[in-house]
Amino acid sequence: MSVETQNTPAVSPEDIETAEKFKSEANESFKSLLYVRKKIKKICIQKQLKKNPNVAIYYANRSFAYLKTECFGYALTDASKSVELDKTYVKGYYRRAAAHMSLGKFKEALKDYEYVTKVRPNDKDAKLKYSECNKVVKKIAFEKAISVDFNKKNIADSINLDAMTIENEYTGPRLEDGKVTLNFMKELMELYKKQGKLHRKYAYKQPSLIEVPISDDEKFTVCGDIHGQFYDLMNIFELNGLPAETNPYLFNGDFVDRGSFSVECIFTLFGFKLLYPSHFFMSRGNHESATMNQMYGFDGEVKSKYTAQMADLFTEVYNWLPLAHCLNKKVLVSRFINSTV
């Protein structure tokens, strides 16, 4: 149980009992990691907090639910509140460290992981997390110390496409007069279904993105997180039709990470962006960042299938993606608008 502060509101025994009941319900619902169950847990925890807002474990539990649904800012707030209520509650520090890590605040995360390892010296998971975080902090410090190139050229400017040759044995799709065509995209998707690989020359040529307004007078499809699930992406196109001037799409971020076919997903999306620049849109999500890609797998996938330079290029391309789209001047669509239940 938590340590109450001087300004915490009074809570009746009945409210305490009810809050504990909600806590049990939330724990039962969270045995499965399905998204809906995570939402149920957050709802139950909010009921707990409404009945008894003085318990550190409730905030730590909701912080965990927020971490699993990638609402990292909210997770950090709740974890900090948990520590504020009970400065000896280890899970509060653990949740706050995880939130700091997800937000790229590695020094802050290291302090919390250090506290956890001191309190729980036999906790193997805590030691592993501390070690991983410590390596990141040292790596960042080392790179900063040796960094001297303040006029570093863009990755895109350093690539000589004309010097790249396409080998005779390459059987994948080819650009027509240097342009993406519908036939190119169909061949590309078939290539990816067979787990083939697009030639590096065409891969480097993909990220030429331009932000454009969305048409008001037609059907418009908005898609959420793809997360490297290429065959799910193909199923969307099967059910709803391929992108076209008469069938526009907006993919609202989180194209990569987690799934094993993130490269195939993002190249397919980039291809349609080039083919239909005024009818196919892409927003930047929280997984379109170097830190998230290193944590959730895309960085390693790109290096495995192509090169480290390609991975750096993706980080550069992210900066060209818009953060939001406004549909018909009425609906704002963005990955960076968090909401609570």
- Of the candidates 100, 227, 279, 287, the residue annotated as catalytic is 287
Paired tokens of 336:
């960076």
* Calpha distance 332→49 (Å, rounded): 31
| Neighbour-count burial of 21, counting CB atoms closer than 10 A to its CB (0-12 exposed, 13-18 middle, 19+ buried) | middle
Query: How far apart, in Å, are the Cα atoms of 75 and each of 33, 93, 101?
Result: 17, 12, 11
> Long-range contact list for 87-91, CB < 8 A, 24+ apart?
87/3, 88/3, 89/2, 89/56, 89/57, 89/60, 90/115, 90/116, 90/119, 90/120, 91/57, 91/60
Strands 249-252 and 221-223: parallel
As separate numbers, helices (DSSP H) first and strands (DSSP E) second, the chain gives 14, 5
For residues 299, 304, 307, 312, the Cα torsion angle rounded to the nearest 10 degrees is 0
The Cα 15–Cα 23 span in angstroms is 12
Torsion angle of the four alpha carbons 90, 91, 96, 99, in this order, in degrees rounded to the nearest 10: 150
Tokens matching residue 23: 């806590």
* Active site (annotated) includes residue 325: no
**Chain-centre distance for alpha carbon 227:** 8
Beta strand residue intervals within the chain, DSSP E = 221-223, 249-252, 280-283, 324-327, 331-334
**Active-site residue numbers?**
287
